[in-house]
């Protein structure tokens, strides 16, 4: 099976460093699938689900919170603000974050500076809940 070298990093850790035959991630323009011999490519990532297939053919799901994806040669780098495997997500904490963000949005007007921040927190919480579920 053909593979490419994949590195997934966040500001605080190396999440994955190994071979992969396929990844699917959410970009600002929608989902993209990267396969071996993909054309050189760079794209900003959105909040969404990531599916990483390892060299054994096993697929793991993760919550990815924004960042960048680059493909150069047979090297793929995903640099995310946060990247959390489904197994590591604390569902109760994510549900509390959802409730807190929803309450904040109810108190704010769309013109308020904090509205966008509360909206992003809600999107992250909902993504984590979706990925865990």
Q: How far is CA 119 from CA 7, 47, 77, 89, in A?
A: 29, 12, 28, 20
Rounded to 5°, the CA angle 68-130-91 comes to: 105
- pTM check: above 0.85: yes
What residue has token string 């600002």? 28
Tell me the pLDDT tens digit for each residue of 53-80.
999 999 999 999 999 999 999 999 999 9
Q: List the domains of the chain with CATH numbers.
A: 4-87 (2.60.15.10), 90-132 (1.20.5.440)
87-126 pLDDT, tens per residue?
A: 999 999 999 999 999 999 888 888 778 888 898 999 999 9
Helices (H), the chain: 91-107, 113-132
Q: For 4-20, what is each residue's pLDDT tens digit? A: 999 999 999 999 999 99
SS3 111: coil
Q: What is the CA radius of gyration of the chain?
A: 16
């Amino acid at each position: 099976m053909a593979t490419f070298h994949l590195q997934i990093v966040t500001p605080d850790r190396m999440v994955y460093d190994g071979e992969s035959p396929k990844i699917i991630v959410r970009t600002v323009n929608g989902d993209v699938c990267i396969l071996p011999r993909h054309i050189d490519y760079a794209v900003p990532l959105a909040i969404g689900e990531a599916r990483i297939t390892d060299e054994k053919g096993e697929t793991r799901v993760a919550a990815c919170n924004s960042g960048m994806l680059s493909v150069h040669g047979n090297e793929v780098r995903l640099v995310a603000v946060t990247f959390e495997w489904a197994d590591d997500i604390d569902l109760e904490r994510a549900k509390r974050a959802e409730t807190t963000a929803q309450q904040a949005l109810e108190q704010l007007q769309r013109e308020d500076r904090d509205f966008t921040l509360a909206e992003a927190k809600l999107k992250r919480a909902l993504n984590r809940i979706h990925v865990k579920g």
